[in-house]
Amino acid sequence: MVDSRREETDTYIRGVCFAPILLVMGLLVLIFNESHVRTQHKIFRNTIKSVTNVDADSPIKTENDGKLIHLYGWAKVSSTGKVQDPLFGVSKTGIVKLKRYVEMYQWDEEALSSETFEYNKAWENDLIDSTEFEEPDKYSNPTSFPFASGTYYADADDDDEEEQESTKLGNYFLSANVLETMNWFQDYDGTISINTVTDESTKNSLRIYSDEDSGDVDGPSKQYYYTGDDPTSPEVGDARVSFQQIPEQVISVVAMQTSGGGLAPFETAPAKQQQQGKTSTILLVEPGWRSAKQMMTRAHANATLWKGWLRLFAFILIIGGFKIIVEPMSVIADVVEDQFPFFADLVYSASNGAVAYFSGFTFMTVMALSWITYAPLTSLFQLGLVAFSTQIARRMIRSERVPKVTSRATYGFDQFYEMLPMDTSGSNNVV
C-alpha cells in the first residue's frame, strides 16, 4: 500500500514538473504563430492598396516598372511561337502550355496487417522502390523510367528563366515564372504520331494506342505512346506517355511590371527582412477575369490556412499542460480553499471543466494581447469576452458546487485522507 501511494505521488510530481514544459511550448507556438499571422495580414493590407490596374491592350507605361500591377486579357502564343515536346514532337496551335505525363506499370505493396501484405499491379507516375517491399525478390520493379515527365512553353526549355516573348497577354510578355504558375491542365485533344518522334531508337520502341483499344473508356478517348508489347495486357516495366494542355484563354494576373512589359514576382518583404535574406513574393495567375481584390484575398486565405492548424496545435499543448496540473490539485485545494475560494471551486467542480476554463482563458488572453497594437478594438472585444466568460463560469461553479467529501472520492484522492492521523476513539474526524 505504501509503495502504491509513493508511486502515485511520484507520478503526480513528475506530471506537475512536465506540465510547465507543455504550457511554455504551447504559448511559444501561439505567440510565434500570431506574430506571423499579424505580419502576413499587414503585408496583405499594404500590398492590396498598392496594386495598379492596367489595361493589357493599352501601351505599356514605363512609370509602372517595378510596381505591382493587375491586368487581364487573352493569353496567346504569337504566330512565330510554337509549343512542342522536343522528344515526341507533339505540337498544337492554340495552346500556351504542354505537359508530358509518363506512367509505368509497377508492383505496389499494401499492408493488410503487420504480417500480411498484398501486391497489385498499377499504373503509377512515381517510381515505386520494390527493394522496400516485404518480398522484394518476388515482386521487383524497374529502377528508372524510360522517359521523364516534362512541361513545355512556346520556344522554351524547362530551365529557361528568360521572358518568353512568344507568349503574350495583350502587350505584356508572360515570363517562365508566370507560365509555371498556370497549372489548370486538361487532356490533350490533338493527335499523336510515331512519325513526329525525333529519336530513332525511341521511335522503334513505341506504338500508339488509345483507351478505346483496351475498352477502358470513361469520357473522351485518350491516346498514348506505349513501350510494351500488348497495351491490352500490360507487363511490369511497360510505360505509357500521354499529354495535357492549357489552351489559349482569358487569364488574370497580379505581378510586378518589369522593363519592356515583362511580368515577374513582386517582393513584399520589408527591406530589413530582405537584407537578412528573408524574401516573400507575390505572383498570382488565375483563369478568367478576376479582380485584384478577389485574387489577393484568396491568396491570403490560402497562405494563412496552415496558421489555423498551428493555433489548434498550441491549444492542444495548453490543454495537456493544464490537464496534468489540475488532476492532482484537489488535495492542494483543500489547503488553500479559504485564501483562494474560486480556485478551489473550480477544482472541486470538475477536473475537465477546470482544464477547459484555464485553457480557454489562457488561449484567448494571449491571442488578444498579441493583436492589441495592431487591432485594438478586436483585442479589447476578446478580452471583454474572457472577462464575461469568467464571471459566468464562477457563478455556474458556485451554484453547482459538489460537496468536498464527494469530490475527494470522485478524484481518487481518498487514499490521501486515509493517511492522515485519526483520533483514538475511532471517529472519522481529522485531527
What is the per-residue pLDDT across 70-83, written as a single tens digit (0 to 9) for each?
A: 999 999 998 777 89
Average pLDDT, the chain: 79
Q: With a cut of 80, say whether residue 279 has pLDDT above it.
A: no
Top pLDDT among 128 and 277 is at 128
Number of Cβ within a 10 Å radius of residue 224: 22
pLDDT tens, position by position, 190-225: 899 999 999 998 988 899 988 776 555 555 678 999
Could you tell me the pTM of the whole model? 0.68
Q: With a cut of 80, say whether residue 376 has pLDDT above it.
A: no
Cell for 261? 512589359
What pLDDT shows up at residue 106?
96
Top pLDDT among 338 and 331 is at 338
Residue 142 is given by DSSP the state -
Residue linked to cell 486579357: 73
Taking alpha carbons only, the member of 282, 82, 242, 215 closest to residue 150 is: 242
Farthest CA pair distance, the chain: 109
Cα 353 to Cα 77, 109, 167, 346, 357, distances in angstroms: 65, 46, 62, 7, 6
CA angle 137, 141, 147 (to 5 degrees): 160
Q: With a cut of 50, say whether residue 430 has pLDDT above it.
A: no
- Percent pLDDT > 70 in the chain is 74
Taking alpha carbons only, the member of 282, 246, 227, 224 closest to residue 101 is: 224
Rounded CA-CA distance 399/410 in Å is 19
Residue linked to cell 471543466: 353
Number of Cβ within a 10 Å radius of residue 95: 23
Q: With a cut of 90, say whether residue 188 has pLDDT above it.
A: yes
Q: Please provide residue 93's backbone torsions phi and psi, each rounded to the nearest 5 degrees.
A: -80, 155
Q: What residues have CB less than 8 Å from 247, skipping those under 6 apart?
A: 94, 95, 96, 186
Q: Sorting pLDDT into bands at 50, 70 and 90, what band is 330? A: low
Top pLDDT among 416 and 249 is at 249
Top pLDDT among 37 and 111 is at 111
Cell for 18? 512536465
Top pLDDT among 355 and 61 is at 61
Q: Sorting pLDDT into bands at 50, 70 and 90, what band is 429? A: very low
Rounded CA-CA distance 231/235 in Å is 9
* 3-state class (DSSP) for residue 78: coil
Number of Cβ within a 10 Å radius of residue 267: 16
What pLDDT shows up at residue 31?
86
Rounded CA-CA distance 265/161 in Å is 13
DSSP 338-364: TT-HHHHHHHHH-HHHHHHHHHHHHHH
Cell for 314? 498550441
Q: With a cut of 60, say whether residue 178 has pLDDT above it.
A: yes
